[in-house]
Structure 1
Amino acid sequence: MVSKVVFGRGSFNQLGDILSPKRLNVKAPFIFIVDDVFQGNSWITSRIPLAYEDKIYYISADEEPKTSQVDDLVEEIILNYKALPSGIIGIGGGTIMDLAKAVSIMLTNKGESKDYQGWDLVKKPAIYHVGIPTISGTGAEVSRTTVLTGPERKLGINSDYTPFDQVVLDPELTKDVPKNQWFYTGMDCYIHCIESLNGTFLNAFSKSYGEKAYELCVELFLDNNLTEEEAQDKLMMASWHGGMSIAYSQVGVAHAMSYGLGYLLGTKHGVGNCIVFNQLEEFYPEGVALFKKMKDKHNIDLPQGICANLSDKEFDIMIDVALSLEPLWENALGKHWKKTMTRDKLKELYLKM
């Protein structure tokens, strides 16, 4: 679990006080990995507490993080500084959160990041790392994974060393999120809840967090009486609780299939989950029905026909990626999931998208 968390409107202003005791020495910088949408936005950047040799790397979140991107950034940091950084601070959405977590791991572990895609392959603790989400829903700020697209698969670095050491949850930072992005990342959280609460890995710990996140999502996306500030606060808490729920259980069919879309087509995680989940009545009938109600209420038009012109070889690539995520399928369908989720069944579902 994340060992320290600060929540509250304006809590981003505490970042300097949080980081200063963690500075190793004046030559060991803090590296800030920041979504480039904030470049030139003084409301955010002027409050980043730079000192000594600290540096900001502005990173585009237009594409989800790749193992090659992690390796390039790690190499640049190692070559530019004589000492390991005092810490890595990620400021942005799920893409930036995952990138910050991956970089902090690879600064202390040998080899390439693709070698650590999987479960519990990381051998050495990451350097100190802090997550500051500027959009809510993905749960990346609390999860024990960092999802990366590698040369052969899209899969997270799942380990006990992945979670942030410190998270700053400031709902004010989410105030300018575009509507569609707000919906897609919010639905990522909602789908986390549905897959966790309906999974075979469910336990009292994950259930308590999942139920609270589900309750918050229903209120957020179907209640007309929330103020903008209330909605920001509640979605940030829903994201946290949803991330905690899957940390102690697992996600399911929608996420496994969405990884296939992401690997082959570059479909962003949130919208990919929505495209897939929209076709999963067979597995999550009540959850999908409520999702469609939320989608209609907010006038969201999902992309259509994204798999219409794919070749058999391309379908096989997506299917291979999806089927490689065995813990997700076992959570969704039980130990004998391979009898239910065949390659033909997966292709049939992808063809609906």
Structure 2
Amino acid sequence: MNRRLKTFQSPTKVIFGIGASEEVGEEAKKLGGEKALLVTSPTPVKLGLAGKAKNLLEKEKFKVEVFDKVESEPTLELANTISNIVREKEYDIIVGVGGGSALDLAKVASIMATNPGDVKNYLGIGKVGKPGLPKILIPTTAGTGSEVTQGAVLTSKETFEKVGIISKHVWADVALVDPLMSMSMPPRLTAITGIDALSHAVEAYMSKNRSEISDALALQAILLIVKNLPIAFNEGKNLQARYNMALAALLGGIVVDPVNAGACAGHAAAYAFAAKYKVPHGVSVGITLSYVMECNVSVCLEEFKNIAQTFGEKVDALPLPQAAEKAVINVRKLVGETLGLPTRLRDVGVPSDAIESLAENMLRNTRLMNANPKEISKEEAIELFRKMW
């Protein structure tokens, strides 16, 4: 029995299931107001997903304006652009429809409507002073879990780094998680977002800050992803697989939130190169995940044995280190062989002479590195990136 006190928090109201997105009008009406900003990106607009949400809001007498200029891996500059818009237009509610980038920018819009100055002023933990506008988030991918986290991730063009805002005021009021919204994802996007969800669950399951509650959710998310991501990848219209992946992404988002378990060295390693070399987040964590697992295997033997079993490995008769190693092998195989995503830094344009600086960048991310289950020295970090390359 572990006597350490645990904290677990997930204040967002979640409506999950087929047709959940159709509740946006009713939920917005409960939150109040008359004027809504719908934050989205070109793809949900093209697919009609954003338009459907707009119509449902208008049915409840909301005046709706649309910001559809969200780009993948949104920058601080874009965040300041939308901040100026929400301050000028005086909206009552923010609705985000899209992948993690759109949802993160919707969260930024919400808090910047009520907090003055530049977005840079709020980077870090607990720097947002006032609650933002009410916000409803509707994910159209199954990966980021942004709809239930208290973080918003942005990219700095100046430093080529991923930066973030973490605050209790960033949490959404309502998340509408509808598996139907992800049915149009093409195979590669399905793979990238699915591996993002897997990285959340596995890293939370490794994290020093984990608890029995987060462990239960993380392991269930891993099982759902292992069993359903290959199906969703190969059969995009398989509703059961999409349903299970939407649930897995939701669970992964809950546990990867820093107040629960959070991510660790895998995300720190990914952040070290993703922005500079323009590698999508799901691709970058897909590269780092199995190598960080390999680095941590000696202190996560039981956990990795459990992960190996989600892949169907018969490991009860094996020595524990050998059983745990099966998890590393299977995760790497899922990323590279099954889904066809990169598993090496060289595959995404990272040069070998960058390895030492990447190791230093990773170690500077103390929030994530302090959550890693074992301390990683500079020499070990360099060796980690050498293996990745």
The residue correspondences of 1:115-264 to structure 2 (distance < 5 A) are: 115-150=121-156, 151-152=158-159, 153-221=161-229, 228-247=238-257, 248-264=260-276
How far apart in 2 are the matches of 1:195 and 1:94?
Answer: 18
2:102 to 75, 93, 96: 96
Structure 2 unmatched runs, 5+: 1-9, 298-324
Correspondence 1:16 to 2:25: yes
How far apart in 1 are the matches of 2:255 and 2:166?
Answer: 15
Q: CA deviation at 1:163?
A: 1.0
TM-score by length of 2: 0.80
SS of corresponding position for 1:109 = coil
How far apart in 1 are the matches of 2:30 and 2:334?
Answer: 45
Q: 1:111 to 1:322 in 2, by over 3 A?
A: farther
Q: CA RMSD in A?
A: 2.5
Q: 1:274 to 1:202 in 2, by over 3 A?
A: same
Match of residue 296 from structure 2: 283
Q: Deviations over 1:203-231 (max 9, x none)?
A: 12211211211221122146799981111
Q: Is the 8 A contact 1:139 1:239 kept in 2?
A: yes
1:57 to 48, 67, 75: 67
Q: 1:53 to 1:64 in 2, by over 3 A?
A: same
Structure 1 unmatched runs, 5+: none
Supply the AA of the counterpart residue of 1:270. G
Q: CA deviation at 1:47?
A: 4.3
TM-score by length of 1: 0.87
Match of residue 273 from structure 1: 285
Task: Give the number of the structure whose residues are more often helix, by fraction.
Answer: 2
Q: Is the 8 A contact 1:146 1:156 kept in 2?
A: yes
Q: Is the 8 A contact 2:286 2:343 kept in 1?
A: no
How far apart in 1 are the matches of 2:350 and 2:281?
Answer: 19
Q: 1:282 to 1:319 in 2, by over 3 A?
A: closer
Q: Work out the percentage of aligned pairs sharing the same amino acid.
A: 22
Correspondence 1:346 to 2:352: no
How far apart in 1 are the matches of 2:256 and 2:48?
Answer: 35
SS of corresponding position for 2:176 = strand
Q: Is the 8 A contact 1:307 1:350 kept in 2?
A: no
